[in-house]
Amino acid sequence: MTPARSHVAAAVCLDVGSTWTKAVLVHPDGGLAGFAEHPTTTGDVLAGMDATVRAVSAVGGSAHEPELLACSSAGGGLRLAVVGSDRLTATEAGHRVAVSAGAHVVHVHAGPLEPADVRALRNAKPGVVLLLGGSDGDDPAPLLHNAGRLARARIRPPILLAGNVDGRAEALATLLATGRTVVSCENVLPRLGEVVPGPARAALVSLYQRHAIGGRGPAVAPRFRRLVRVVTADAVGRGVAELARIRRGRVLLVDVGCATTEVHSADGRDGVEGGARRTVEGDLGVRAAAGGVLLEGQAEGVVDPVEADLLAPTVARMASEVGFVPSNAGGAAEDRRIAALASVVAVRRHLRADAGAAEGIGLVVLTGGVFRQRGPGNGLAAVIATLRSDPVLAAALADVEVVVDSDFTVAPAGLLATHGRTDAAESLLRDHLLG
């Protein structure tokens, strides 16, 4: 693989996901020449990248070596641990901070941290620790005790400090004194019974952006960073912006992955893209995060108890066999059902976060590996019907055109546009998505 060099050459547009690495070969005029995928190699993400690039480049037939344009979300969803004073409050606060920020809660501790508690926290393998500690005006001693424990512990993930204002500065100094990475923000629990997740969620979004690209490790990181400089969510967002500009209207895109589900919206009225928004759900997916789909689907009233019981064995398999590919119609249908439920919950959350995004939607795009299926019997009509008929979403989506990104074009178009190939990006979207 070599970095991008020449716009006269074809481009290999590569997306390194947490489970699968995908690539398309795109001619300079935007023509689609081939597709390849390979499991994202555990421990050496570069091996999967190399295999995918070789496979898709072999069909090129070009006199010029293809440019490599790469994006990544190999880090998957961000694992969030919460340390607070009260379990119920800490759990609620953690969930509300994580929602739409690309994270999911994997551990909650309430009360003073003791050595055994620190070991349990470390064993949860969090990507970020959210440190809470009382309402503003409360005794800061509990927050300072836990900050001291974390400062002395062998815990390396970033700490998101969002506790009592009276103890926050001292807690920050304590953590920084031992070299911890700390992001400090306003208290998530400023008053008794009140949860204000916004500032902490915004900080978590920034941490997720750095986490999502993946490719860590001394043997991998240097070369990976040279080759991959774009987060997949940014590439998809740019692709959605191009779609909105082409359509001169509002576009909503749902990207269902193995570990996360993203929703992007953009408004291209008057030919100028604007009003772009992105939400990333780290607890919704069709493999590693499949358990969250059932949990949140029931909480939202999208899944009834009978269906939840029927789908539970499937979801357990999905979460434990992240590289599993269905080999029969029944397994594929279960994949699509989980994807449909993830889409509904994710779009509901997106529209709650930005009510204006529901106004005047002219196009909905479904993208992700589960949707790369062709033919009239592919079962995707049921996914579309689930979205359109959802009682919460029907008013916004009932009569909206829905297209499926079966050729894997949106992320590649975003990569092309990001690297100055806007004409090729537009041709790719018009010819292989919009028709």
pLDDT tens-digit series, residues 347-403: 999 999 987 888 899 999 999 999 987 656 678 999 999 999 999 999 999 999 999
DSSP labels, 135-168: -TTS-SHHHHHHHHHHHHSS--S-EEE---HHHH
Report the pLDDT averaged over residues 248-261.
96
pLDDT interval class at 7 (50, 70, 90): low
Task: Note the maximum CA span of the chain.
Answer: 71
Range 51-79 average pLDDT: 88
Coil, strand or helix at 205: helix
Sign of CA dihedral 309, 315, 320, 321: positive
* CA separation for the pair 140, 222 (Å, rounded): 42
Three-class secondary structure of residue 114 per DSSP: coil
User: CA torsion angle for 92, 79, 125, 81 (degrees, to 10)?
Assistant: -20
- pLDDT mean over 334-352: 96
* 151 contacts 171 by C-beta, under 8 angstroms: no
Query: What is the reported pLDDT for 276?
Result: 80
**Residues 146, 132: Cα–Cα separation, whole Å:** 9
Of 4-13, 115-124, 182-191, 262-271, the one with minimum mean pLDDT is 4-13
- Average pLDDT over every residue of 14-35: 94
Average pLDDT (32-39) is 92
Cβ atoms 70, 16 nearer than 8 A = yes
| String of DSSP letters for 345-369 | HHHHHHHHH-GGGGTTEEEEEEESG
- Nearest in space to 71 (alpha carbons), one of 289, 225, 243, 216: 225
**Tell me, what's the pLDDT at 271?**
54
- pLDDT above 90 for 325: no
Residue 43 has pLDDT above 90, yes or no: no
Report pLDDT for 270.
67
What does the pLDDT look like over 86-136, one tens digit per residue? 999 999 999 999 999 999 999 999 999 999 999 999 999 999 999 999 999
Task: Please state the φ and ψ torsions of residue 297, each to the nearest 5 degrees.
Answer: -60, -40
Q: Tell me: pLDDT of 4 over 60.
A: no
Q: Alpha carbon of 142 to those of 36, 119, 120, 150: distances in Å? A: 53, 19, 19, 13
pLDDT at residue 63, rounded to an integer? 61
d(CA 166, CA 312): 45
Question: Beta-carbon neighbour count of residue 61 at 10 Å?
Answer: 11
Residue 60 has pLDDT above 70, yes or no: no
Other C-beta atoms closer than 10 Å to the C-beta of 339 total: 27
pLDDT tens digit sequence for 394-427:
999 999 999 999 999 999 999 999 999 999 999 9
Q: Which residues sit opposite 22 in a β-bridge?
A: 15, 37
| Residues 6+ positions from 58 with CB-CB distance below 8 Å | none
Average pLDDT of the chain, as a whole number: 92
Return all residues near 346 (Cβ < 8 A) that are at least 6 apart: 254, 256, 261, 262, 263, 279, 281, 284
Q: Average pLDDT in the 28-55 region? A: 91
In this predicted structure, the answer to whether residue 1 has a pLDDT above a threshold of 60 is no
Q: What is the pLDDT of residue 225?
A: 86
CA angle (28, 31, 37) in 5-degree steps: 100
Position 378 scores a pLDDT of: 72
205-254 pLDDT tens trace: 999 999 999 877 766 788 888 999 899 999 999 999 999 999 999 999 99
- Contact present, 358 and 244 (Cβ < 8 Å): no
- pLDDT value, residue 274: 54
Neighbouring-strand partners of residue 69: 13
Q: What is the mean pLDDT of residues 142-162?
A: 96
Which pTM value belongs to this model? 0.92
pLDDT on residue 3: 46
More confident residue, 251 or 59: 251
Give the model's pLDDT for residue 2. Answer: 45
Given strand 250-256, what is the order of strands in its sheet?
274-281, 261-267, 250-256, 361-367, 401-404
